[in-house]
Structure 1
């Protein structure tokens, strides 16, 4: 699973040929979640509220790039939240 970015202990990645809807995966300590790219909400798993907020903030900035990455399968690194 290609890692897209990591910041503050949060690791964000995307699987090749994953199921719909477009989403990315988040790991933080023992927590795991899938986050919808279009809705920016957790669609599977669980993240603590603070982590979920940071992930949503990051995803808002890179939402179009994430969607393009999902469509084209052109996976690459994206800047972390700073």
Structure 2
């Protein structure tokens, strides 16, 4: 489970051999998590309010090629 980024208050990770669609995990310090689809940057499931995901979505939008390449590497 590589760490993609550590932002203020959250960590973005991605698992190998994970299910479709391509996505990444956002985990807050308090343990709440969300799965965010890479293509649309919409939450697939979330225990985090939209405001709490804002920084992660902003980072993902700026780094989408990195997310897509990492997904392909971990999930051939």
Structure-1-length-normalised TM-score: 0.81
The 1-side partners of 2:15 and 2:37 are apart by 13
Query: Deviation digits for residues 17-46 of structure 1, max 9, x if unmatched?
Result: 101100000101231110000010110122
Gaps of 5+ in 1: 74-82
Aligned residues: 73
Task: Calculate the aligned-residue CA RMSD, in Å.
Answer: 1.1
Partner of 1:61: 62
Structure-2-length-normalised TM-score: 0.86
Partner of 1:47: 48
Pairing 1:10-49 to 2, within 5 Å after superposition: 10-28=10-28, 29-49=30-50
